[in-house]
């Protein structure tokens, strides 16, 4: 497993299905200054594709994606 990177805020969206993990991340990113990193934990199997599309559409940078045994962890850098 790759080494985790530093983050400024964390959102645990475990147990939530699309589109809730994205909506929680969007709300949290709105409160972060540019350049800060948001860590999102999701158990939704479709969230990897969702966050890749979200990052591309919004201009936030998807720094890292980690696949855990039961979840995904995403690191998004606020544009």
Helix axes 47-58, 20-30, angle to 10 degrees: 40
Alpha carbon of 14 to those of 33, 49, 60, 71, 79: distances in Å?
Answer: 25, 16, 21, 8, 25
Given 16, 18, 62, 65, the catalytic residue: 18
Q: Is 8 a catalytic residue?
A: no
Catalytic residues: 18
């Amino acid at each position: 497993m790759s080494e985790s990177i530093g983050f400024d805020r964390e959102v645990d969206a475990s147990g939530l299905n699309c589109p809730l993990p994205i909506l929680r991340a969007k709300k949290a990113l709105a409160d972060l200054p540019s350049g800060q990193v948001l860590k999102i934990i999701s158990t939704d199997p479709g969230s990897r594709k969702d966050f890749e599309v979200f990052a591309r559409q919004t201009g936030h940078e998807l720094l890292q994606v980690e696949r855990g045994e039961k979840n995904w962890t995403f690191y998004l850098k606020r544009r």
